[in-house]
Amino acid sequence: MEQRPPLPDRVSAVTALADPARLTLYELVTRSADPVSRDTAADATGLSRSTASFHLERLAALGLVDVEFRRLSGKTGPGAGRPAKLYRRATGEVSVSLPERHYDLAGDLLAAAIEESIQSGLPVREALRSVAGEAGRNRGAEAETLPRALEENGFEPCADGNDLVLGNCPFHRLAENHTDLVCELNFELVRGLAEGAGDAEHIVRSDPGAGRCCIRISRSAASAGEVETGGSDEA
């Protein structure tokens, strides 16, 4: 399951379209059946070639359009000329939600659970717990630490005494309508994040009253004992 770019990058991409010329070029490229050259873009929008080129390059840098090179004459070999730089609709997508939501991840997990259920015969709910845990382990391993993994996946971890609670539910609207199912998904995902990050200092617990999510992350007994006795063997 593909990780989304960081929120600041996605915000930059969306706000870039506030420029009217850039938005016009973006719509031209994304609605065109064929890749668009700089000359074509300039002619279609009435912009100079240099201005059209500048904005198209900015759109490409932000991941809003993709780039390819092709000889428009159809000729090959020596004397065929340099390939033209063309712009086409991006294969990826950019979305921004505030507070941070990850409904795309929920959709991926639910679809994967249905597929797993069909293939294995497991009840869908059991399959969902399995795929959510696996996704969490993969994402936790990429993040390397549990707090970073929680932050990258939209949970907004914050301290509550010695515990961590979650300041945001990335599946909030789904959780309102399908509370038990989404809370199970959340629990297995967060537990997977901890396992993938190699975090042995915390225990993930279900706690409907914790923060803005149904999870509390407490220090393990061994970890809490280390904190309490730390420094007691000093000379």
Residue percentage of the chain with pLDDT more than 90: 73
Q: How confident is the model at residue 221 (pLDDT cuts 50, 70, 90)?
A: low
Inside any domain, residue 232: no
Q: What's the CATH code of the domain at 20?
A: 1.10.10.10
45 within some domain? yes
Strand partners, 87: 36, 67
Among 60, 89, 118, identify where a domain stops.
Answer: 89
Residues 164 and 210 in one domain: yes
Please indicate, yes or no, whether residues 176 and 109 belong to a single structural domain of this protein.
Answer: yes
* pLDDT at residue number 70: 86
114 and 82 assigned to the same domain: no
Collapsed DSSP state (helix, strand, coil) of residue 38: helix
Domain annotation covers residue 75: yes
Domain total of the chain? 2
Structure tokens at 224: 């809490």
- For the segment 133-153, what is each residue's pLDDT rounded down to a tens digit? 999 999 999 999 999 999 999
- How does DSSP classify residue 95? -
Question: Which residue is listed with tokens 């009435």?
Answer: 46
Q: State whether 133 and 195 are in the same domain.
A: yes
The answer to whether the beta carbons of residues 41 and 28 sit under 8 Å apart is yes
* Residue 156: domain span: 103-223
Q: Determine the pLDDT at residue 227.
A: 46
Asked, for residue 234, whether it belongs to a domain, the answer is no
**Is residue 97 domain-resident?**
no
Say if 94 falls within a structural domain.
no
Cα–Cα distance for residue pair 165/233, rounded to 1 Å: 32
| Among 89, 113, 131, residue at a domain's last position | 89
- The DSSP code sequence of 146-162 is HHHHHHHTT--EEEETT
Give the pLDDT confidence of 89-145 residue by residue, as tens digits: 998 888 888 889 999 999 999 999 999 999 999 999 999 999 999 999 999 999 999
> What is the predicted pLDDT for the residue at 93?
85
- Percent of residues in the chain assigned helix, strand, coil, to nearest 5: 50, 15, 35
Q: pLDDT tens across 191-202, in order?
A: 999 999 999 999
Considering only CA atoms, which of 84, 132, 78 is closest in space to residue 110?
132
Confidence of residue 58 (pLDDT cuts 50, 70, 90): very high
Please tell me the distance from the alpha carbon of residue 41 to that of residue 35, in angstroms, as a whole number: 10
Residues 114 and 85 in one domain: no
- Residues 74, 155 within the same domain: no
Q: Is 201 found in the same domain as 112? A: yes
| One domain for residues 107 and 219 | yes
Report if residue 165 sits inside a domain.
Answer: yes
Determine the Cα–Cα distance for residues 196 and 148; give it in Å rounded to an integer: 12
Give the mean model confidence (pLDDT) for residues 167-176: 95
Residue 108 to residue 118: CA distance in whole angstroms: 15
In a domain, 129, yes or no: yes
Q: What is the pTM of this model?
A: 0.74
Q: What is the pLDDT of residue 131?
A: 98
| Digit-coded pLDDT (tens) for 2-33 | 667 888 888 999 999 999 999 999 999 999 99
Residue 182 has pLDDT above 80, yes or no: yes
In a shared domain, residues 122 and 204: yes
Domain end point (choices 89, 113, 142): 89
Shared domain check, 218 and 137: yes
Q: Label residue 229 by pLDDT band (50, 70, 90).
A: very low
Residue 134 and residue 175 share a domain: yes
Q: Are 73 and 125 part of one and the same domain? A: no
Write out the H or E segment, with its range, that includes residue 173. helix 172-177
Provide the pLDDT for residue 83: 85
